Amino acid sequence: MEWVESLILGIVQGLTEFFPVSSSGHLVMMQELLGFEPGGGIVFEVAVHVATLVAILIFYRRPVAQLAIGTLTGKAYALRYTAKLAVGTLPAVAVALLARDFIEAQFETPMVAGVMLLITGFIVFSTRYTVTRGHQTEPTWTAALLIGCAQAFAILPGISRSGSTVAAAMALGMAPLAAAQFSFLLGVIAMAGAAVLLLPEMMHADKALLGSIAVGSAAALVSGIAALVAFVWLLKTQRFYAFAWYAWPVGAGFIAWLLLR
The tens digit of pLDDT for each residue in 114-161 reads: 999 999 999 999 999 998 888 999 999 999 999 999 999 998 999 999
The rounded distance, in Å, linking the Cα atoms of 203 and 83 is 32
Look at residue 58 and tell me whether its pLDDT is greater than 90: yes
| Type and span of the H or E element at 85 | helix 76-98
**pLDDT tens, residue by residue, 68-109:** 999 999 999 999 999 999 999 999 989 988 888 888 888 888
Mean pLDDT over each residue of the chain, to the nearest integer: 87
Distance CA 38, CA 165 (A): 27
Which sign does the torsion angle of CA 231, 233, 239, 245 carry?
negative
Read off the pLDDT of each residue in 212-230 and give the average, rounded to a whole number.
Answer: 90
Residue 43: predicted pLDDT: 67
Report yes or no: 124 and 118 within 8 Å, Cβ to Cβ: no
Confidence class of residue 41 from pLDDT cuts 50, 70 and 90?
Answer: low
pLDDT in tens, 30-40: 878 877 655 55
Task: Considering only CA atoms, give the Rg of the chain.
Answer: 18
Question: For the chain, what percent of residues have pLDDT higher than 90?
Answer: 55
pLDDT at position 194 over 70: no
Say if residues 223 and 10 touch (Cβ distance below 8 Å): yes
Residue 124's nearest CA partner among 92, 184, 91, 167 is 167
The predicted structure's pLDDT at residue 53: 86
Confidence bin at 23 (pLDDT 50/70/90): confident
Residue 46 has pLDDT above 80, yes or no: no
Q: DSSP state, 134?
A: -
Give dist(CA 162, CA 107) in Å, integer.
19
What integer pLDDT is reported at residue 198 of this predicted model? Answer: 62
* Mean pLDDT calculated for residue range 219-237: 92
Domain count, the chain: 1
The rounded distance, in Å, linking the Cα atoms of 111 and 107 is 9
Domain residues for 167?
3-260
What is this structure's pTM?
A: 0.88
